[in-house]
Amino acid sequence: MSERLTTILGYATLVAILAAVWVLFGEDPSLRQGGRGERLFDGLQTRVNTAARLILSQSDRHVTLVRDGTHWTVAERDGYEADPVRVRDLLRGLALSERREPMTANRDRFDALGLDNASAIALTLADDADAPLADLSVGTRKEGGAGRSLTYVYRDGDSRAWLVSSLPEISADPVNWLDTTLLSLDADRIASVRLGNVTLDRDADAGEYNLTDLGDDETQAPAWKRRDPARVLARLTLTDARRLANPITDPVRTVIVTVDAPQSSQQAETAQAGGSAADGVIAGAEDASGAVTLSLTLKLFDMEEGHWAQLAAAGASAEAGLISARTDGWLYKLSEGDAAVLMRARSDFLEAVQGTDESDQN
């Protein structure tokens, strides 16, 4: 065989090998290849403020966030307000996200990245005309130091999965998107708390709560324990919400709270200007004389293996109106820790007497 023929056959063999490699491992040229440092969604930064609907789906979970004027709501929770910070962080993350590291193009290996059908979160962002702004599958979050966590994602039309920046933790569970702030009060304004037939009054001078009708042979529990109900109520949060005006069961506990007017002019000005859902209910009485201007009634119901509550506000202040506007017709699920504090009996605020069954003190 001549040298020339040998050379030709060698080149032909090399071409055949390269062609086989391309067939086995090559990428469809019609797909986006992407590049390190490129924005995940080119141009979204200038259009993200037109976003009006965000849909997240994962297996049997589904949540739809809908923009309503200046705030967002959770459709699966009867339009209850969404956490504005969490929504903002996700929209900002989508707009600023960059491709950092190319990953596998083999779909059979997507499960290792949390991008298989059972694990991935499908995300769709649309504008007010329902035109798509962003679509992608979100996989496992790769935690990093100094808040530099990265996320595995895949976009239809891409040649492979990518590790991208700037995306916050994402959930398809509706309860994780609720604005959990129910009350946001200065704890020093709470003048008294009545838990069923137990009343705790705050001593204005000492700033401590004391049991009323304390017997001569009774000793109060430590001050921190007597402060617990006011502490919980001042920063009361919810873990779920639904629109329901009249529960079909009777309340297991009624909590009545009296609240003093705000003492600082700044609080009064903030209240008169109106509080936002993001701030919670901050303050609101026009009268800063210290008179009681707000009464809160919290009814607790034992439902669905948890404690749910209705909150009503009474009083002539702007604060009462702000609270009522948010809470009328809603039922809130409380954390078990908060509910346990609000369900305490009188004996829980007393030092146990040696040799006495505490159940006798309830």
Show the tokens assigned to 202: 């705050």
Confidence of residue 244 (pLDDT cuts 50, 70, 90): confident
Please give the mean pLDDT across all residues of the chain. 86
Q: Which residue has the higher pLDDT, 143 or 33?
A: 143
pLDDT at 316: 82
Average pLDDT of the segment spanning 340-348: 97
Q: Which of 226, 259, 245, 359 is nearest to 299 (CA)?
A: 245
pLDDT reading at 23 higher than 80: no
User: Starting at the edge strand that comes first in sequence, how are the strands of the sheet with 99-102 ordered?
Assistant: 80-81, 71-74, 61-68, 51-58, 121-127, 132-142, 150-154, 162-164, 99-102
pLDDT reading at 269 higher than 90: no
For 39-62, how does the pLDDT look when each residue is reduced to its tens digit (9 = 90+)? Answer: 999 999 999 999 999 999 999 999
pLDDT at 305: 87
Confidence of residue 282 (pLDDT cuts 50, 70, 90): very low
Q: Give the torsion through C-alpha atoms of 147, 139, 82, 246, to 10 deg.
A: -130
What is the Cα–Cα distance from 191 to 184, expressed in whole angstroms?
Answer: 15
pLDDT at 245: 72
pLDDT at 2: 66
pLDDT at 277: 37
Average pLDDT of the segment spanning 23-52: 77
pLDDT reading at 297 higher than 70: yes
Confidence of residue 271 (pLDDT cuts 50, 70, 90): very low
Residue type, 105: A
pLDDT reading at 22 higher than 50: no
Q: Which of 10-19, 49-58, 237-246, 273-282 has the lowest average pLDDT? A: 273-282
Q: Which of 148, 179, 181, 177 is nearest to 165 (CA)?
A: 148
Q: Which of 18-22, 55-59, 248-252 has the lowest average pLDDT? A: 18-22
pTM: 0.81
pLDDT at 296: 98
Average pLDDT of the segment spanning 189-205: 95
Average pLDDT of the segment spanning 92-104: 97
Confidence of residue 144 (pLDDT cuts 50, 70, 90): confident
For 321-333, how does the pLDDT look when each residue is reduced to its tens digit (9 = 90+)? Answer: 999 999 999 999 9
Residue 334 has what DSSP assignment? P
